[in-house]
């Protein structure tokens, strides 16, 4: 380890100070079977040009979403991002400090975060939003911890329609914080009775709309049931464009609204980075995790911006912090805000209507395919099919024909007996030719 300028004596002193016998003890929480006991099998000593060729060949094995008809959703959606977005996020006004602790040199970053918060609050129908979270799943987990603090209870009830990866993230953080999680029974067709799960130990109910299966849900009655029993309603979304058409969660009585903002301004990028959105009621702002940029005036009375609320663990005592996740997604939030500003309210509503219309066209076409059943009655741009046979195998057959035809439910919920369910998303990025290609590919795969 020649690049680490520490002597053996210094390493021993550091280990003794923190109370461990060896460096290996620092990784004790990682199961031994998951740790490598050998160096990585990587070639050594290649030139920059050689490395570029090797990595280029590896990257070429991927299939970019824009290179073929693409109908995969499940929390990550292909939308058109104007070239203007990538141009503007590189302007010098925004190339300030990563973390804007010094407002005098970070006004560009702080102002766009202030505008971002305003946009998120308006989209969700809430009073206040923070300056973004790491992603949608961690925002959902932070929301449950926030609800526990507010309600002074220790159990969260999760909808069976919540994205499985969001549910897993909530369960992981709850296990580490000593809180309880209950997942409600779910049926793709019949839904669930979340109100029946609320008792005196429940701090919150976490429900997604549109849900994992694509169902658009009215949360008003559930919000009333939560409030009657002293619990909070946490509304989750994975498709931000849906907020341009569906009733805002805040208008349905949600206390905390969280979700993924990738759909606006951010391309798929083979899985990230993404941007978590987080909004709540004004009365709960002191318990909100993350940071909040506010408007102020400087010494000369001119309009300016600063961090108004920042209760993360690096700023105050860890046991008093509202969040121990120290990363927001500033660049992705900037892209989100620029794209949404370019769209405006009218543009976002038009974009949402096009998404819904495209999905309806596709659902109608697929419903006419033999051995295919569309399960949803109300959806935005994503819906679930019941198909004859194994959906995962059908997806592979369609991929061989140059069509990415959706996500099999069994991929995200293995072992649940859902092998015949296929989740399909259609956005403004899909043409009539794309939809026809999917129908043809599915018919061939089923034959």
- Which CATH number fits the domain 65-79+345-446, given the four candidates 3.90.1150.10, 1.10.600.10, 1.20.59.20, 3.40.30.10? 3.90.1150.10
DSSP characters for 226-265? HHHTT-EEEEEES-GGGGGTSPPGGGGT-SEEEEE-TTTT
Which tokens is 279 given? 């909004």
Contacts 24+ apart (CB under 8 A), 63-66: 63/399, 63/404, 65/268, 65/404, 66/429
Q: Tokens 């109100």 belong to which residue?
A: 195
d(CA 30, CA 332): 30
**CATH 2.130.10.30 at 83-340, yes or no:** no
Alpha-helical runs (H) found in 125-266:
136-151, 164-177, 220-228
C-alpha triplet 413, 429, 351: angle, nearest 5°? 100
Q: Tokens 């004004």 belong to which residue?
A: 282
3-state secondary structure of 295: strand
pLDDT in single tens digits along all 447 residues of the chain: 456 678 889 999 999 999 999 998 999 899 989 998 888 887 778 899 999 999 999 999 988 888 999 999 999 999 999 999 999 998 877 765 556 777 888 888 889 999 999 999 999 999 999 999 999 999 999 999 999 999 999 999 999 999 999 999 999 999 999 999 999 888 776 678 999 999 999 999 999 999 999 999 999 999 999 999 999 999 999 999 999 999 999 999 999 999 999 999 999 988 889 999 999 999 999 999 988 999 999 889 999 999 888 765 555 566 677 776 766 688 899 999 999 999 999 999 999 999 999 999 999 999 999 999 999 999 999 999 999 999 999 999 999 999 999 999 999 999 999 999 999 999 999 999 999 999 999 999 999
d(CA 17, CA 352): 57
* Domain residue ranges of the chain, discontinuous segments joined by +: 65-79+345-446, 83-340
d(CA 102, CA 142): 26
Which tokens is 230 given? 């002293």
Q: Model's pTM, two decimal places?
A: 0.88
């Amino acid at each position: 380890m020649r690049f680490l300028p520490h002597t053996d004596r210094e390493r021993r002193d550091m280990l003794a100070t923190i109370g461990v016998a060896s460096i290996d003890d620092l990784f004790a929480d990682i199961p031994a079977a998951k740790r490598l006991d050998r160096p990585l099998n990587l070639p050594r000593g290649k030139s920059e040009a050689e490395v570029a060729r090797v990595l280029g060949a590896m990257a070429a094995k991927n299939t970019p979403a824009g290179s073929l008809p693409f109908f995969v959703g499940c929390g990550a959606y292909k939308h058109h991002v104007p070239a203007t977005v990538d141009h503007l996020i590189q302007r010098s006004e925004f190339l300030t400090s990563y973390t804007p602790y010094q407002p005098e040199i970070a006004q560009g970053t702080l102002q766009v975060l202030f505008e971002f918060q305003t946009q998120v609050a308006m989209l969700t129908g809430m009073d206040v939003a923070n300056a973004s979270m790491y992603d949608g799943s961690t925002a959902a987990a932070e929301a449950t911890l926030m609800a526990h603090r507010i309600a002074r209870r220790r159990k969260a009830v999760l909808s069976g329609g919540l994205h499985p990866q969001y549910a897993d993230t909530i369960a992981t953080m709850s296990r580490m914080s000593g809180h309880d999680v209950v997942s409600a029974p779910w049926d793709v067709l019949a839904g669930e009775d979340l109100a029946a799960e609320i008792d005196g130990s429940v701090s919150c109910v976490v429900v997604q709309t549109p849900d994992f299966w694509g169902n658009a849900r009215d949360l008003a009655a559930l919000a009333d049931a939560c409030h009657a029993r002293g619990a909070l309603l946490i509304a989750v979304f994975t498709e931000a464009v849906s907020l341009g058409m569906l009733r805002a969660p805040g208008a349905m009585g949600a206390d905390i609204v969280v979700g993924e903002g990738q759909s606006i301004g951010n391309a798929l990028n083979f899985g990230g980075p993404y941007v978590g959105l987080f909004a709540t009621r004004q009365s709960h702002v002191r318990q909100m995790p993350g940071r909040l940029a506010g408007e102020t005036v400087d010494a000369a009375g001119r309009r300016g911006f600063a961090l108004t609320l920042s209760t993360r663990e690096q700023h105050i005592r860890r046991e008093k912090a509202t969040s121990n996740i120290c990363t927001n997604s500033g660049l992705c939030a900037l892209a989100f805000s620029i794209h949404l500003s370019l769209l405006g309210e009218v543009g976002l509503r038009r974009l949402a209507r096009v998404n819904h219309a495209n999905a309806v066209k596709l659902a109608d076409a697929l419903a006419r395919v033999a051995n295919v059943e569309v399960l949803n009655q109300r959806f935005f741009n994503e819906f679930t099919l019941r198909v004859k046979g194994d959906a995962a195998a059908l997806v592979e057959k369609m991929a061989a024909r140059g069509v990415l035809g959706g996500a099999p439910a069994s991929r995200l919920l293995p072992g649940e007996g859902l092998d015949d369910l296929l989740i399909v998303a259609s956005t403004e990025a899909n043409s009539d030719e794309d939809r026809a290609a999917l129908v043809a590919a599915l018919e061939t795969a089923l034959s």
